[in-house]
Amino acid sequence: MTVRLLLVAPILVWSLAGCVTNHQRYDWGSYDPSLYAYYKDPTKEAALAESLAAVISTADSNHALVPPGIYAEYGYLQLQEGKNLAAVELFKQEEAHWPESKIFMDRMIKVASAAPQQRSTK
């Protein structure tokens, strides 16, 4: 009986696996739910920024890839906060990790570099 069960179990798992090709390529942290929460309530921008920063730091500490778009999303929130230098750094990171983003990131780096710094002294 036990032997038969041992035989059946892997076959069931194998048959279930038939069409499932999904596996997690990246660790997204709470990116999806945070973006949803932000769209539901735009005052939750800080929480979204925090979750993006967490995705980056988790990937860094695991020596894993930061998922596509995450540096850029985080950089754009920084730009909206007037933190242009931080934004430029993040746009450069996106471009370095994901060459497909080059044209868009170059354009945004120009925008962020040209715009006046919010905290400039004069």
Partner 1 sequence: MNPLSKVLIFGAVLMLAACASAPKRYDYANFRTESPRSILVVPVTNKSVDVNAPDYFLSSIATPLAERGYYVFPVNMVKSVLSDDGLSDANLVHSGDPRRLGELFGADAVMYISIERWDAKYVVLSTTVTVELNYSIKSTHTGQELWSNHQRVVYQPQSSGGGGLAGLLANAITAALAKAAPNYMPLAHQANSGAINLKGTGLPAGPYDGLFGKDAADY
Report, in Å, the least distance between residue 33 CB and partner 1: 8
Residue 37 to residue 20: CA distance in whole angstroms = 29
Residues whose CB falls within 8 Å of the CB of residue 28, separated by 6 or more in sequence, listed in order: 55, 67
Q: What are the residues binding partner 1 (CB under 8 A)? A: 4, 7-8, 11-12, 14-16, 18-19, 21-22, 24-26, 28, 31-33, 35-36, 38-40, 67-70, 72-73, 75-76, 80, 94, 98, 100-104, 107-108
Closest C-alpha to 71, from 83, 47, 89, 48: 89
Of 14 and 120, which CB lies nearer to partner 1 in the complex structure? 14
Report, in Å, the least distance between residue 57 CB and partner 1: 18
Of 36 and 64, which CB lies nearer to partner 1 in the complex structure? 36
Closest C-alpha to 67, from 93, 105, 37: 93
